[in-house]
Amino acid sequence: MRLEEIYSAYDKIVQSGYLPYIRCKKCTHTFFYVRHCCPKCGSRDLEVLRSEGIGKVFSWTKIFRKNDTSIYGIVELGEGFKVYCNFTSDVEIGDNVRVKIDSLGDGKYKLLAYKL
């Protein structure tokens, strides 16, 4: 799969409100960030899929700013890949969450995790 095809497939899934990810057809490794080859085996035989968006908190931290507090961390999705995201409420490691994608326009987006 060419890089342009991967970006196009990602955009379609994001526009439908879901979280995309990539699976290598050769070794079945899954990953989130767009690449034209598998980071595990180097194969270019990839497929873009839609995640259910359900996972567990892997790690988190609170960021304190002058007038704001944010919770940021890593979620391990059920499909086996991890993503960085913002949490909408206090969480603990191992909590079940749903990750949703929020489009910011111009091809940019952020991931939000909601505690289940």
pLDDT at 12: 92
Domain CATH for 103: 2.40.50
71 and 62 Cβ atoms separated by less than 8 Å: yes
Check whether residue 69 and residue 105 sit in a common domain: yes
Note down the domain range covering 90.
54-115
Check whether residue 46 and residue 60 sit in a common domain: no
pLDDT at 28: 97
Query: Of 55, 31, 54, 51, nearest to 41 (Cα)?
Result: 31
Check whether residue 13 and residue 47 sit in a common domain: yes
pLDDT at 11: 87
CA distance 88 to 114: 6
Check whether residue 65 and residue 27 sit in a common domain: no
What mean pLDDT, rounded, does the chain reach?
A: 93
- Give the global pTM: 0.88
Check whether residue 90 and residue 104 sit in a common domain: yes
**pLDDT tens across 3-29, in order?**
999 999 988 998 888 999 999 999 999
